[in-house]
Amino acid sequence: MGEYVTIKDIALRASLSEKTVRKFIKRGEIPCYRPHPRGKMLIRWSDFEVWIESRRVRIEADADAKEMLEILFSSAASPKRERA
């Protein structure tokens, strides 16, 4: 059985607002459990880790995106300023 945490715990650990965490729960993207009808919503930490990993963008796998980023962040792409 995994570690269960509150929305507040998830928000603090993941640098998200509680409102954002609640939004994802409401959309059904993050599973949550409420052991008592008036109790706190609990999230299994391992479920959250799986969800956050599924949202990670893998630029390395996309050659076009990787090339675009290299161009954007290269010194050749930055504008040259003329000296007066």
Record the tokens describing residue 84, joined without a space. Answer: 């007066």
Domain ranges of the chain: 4-77
pLDDT for 83 equals: 60
The answer to whether 45 touches 60, Cβ cutoff 8 Å, is no
Q: Torsion-angle region of residue 24: left (phi > 0), alpha (psi -120 to 50) or beta?
A: alpha
> DSSP code of 36?
S
Give the model's confidence band at 24: pLDDT under 50 very low, under 70 low, under 90 confident, else very high. Answer: very high
pTM equals 0.61
The answer to whether 18 touches 58, Cβ cutoff 8 Å, is no
> DSSP code of 81?
P
Cα distances (Å, whole numbers) of residue 7 to 59, 69, 77: 29, 34, 42
Which of 13-17, 49-53, 69-73, 76-80 is least confident? 76-80
pLDDT for 57 equals: 64
Give the model's confidence band at 60: pLDDT under 50 very low, under 70 low, under 90 confident, else very high. Answer: low
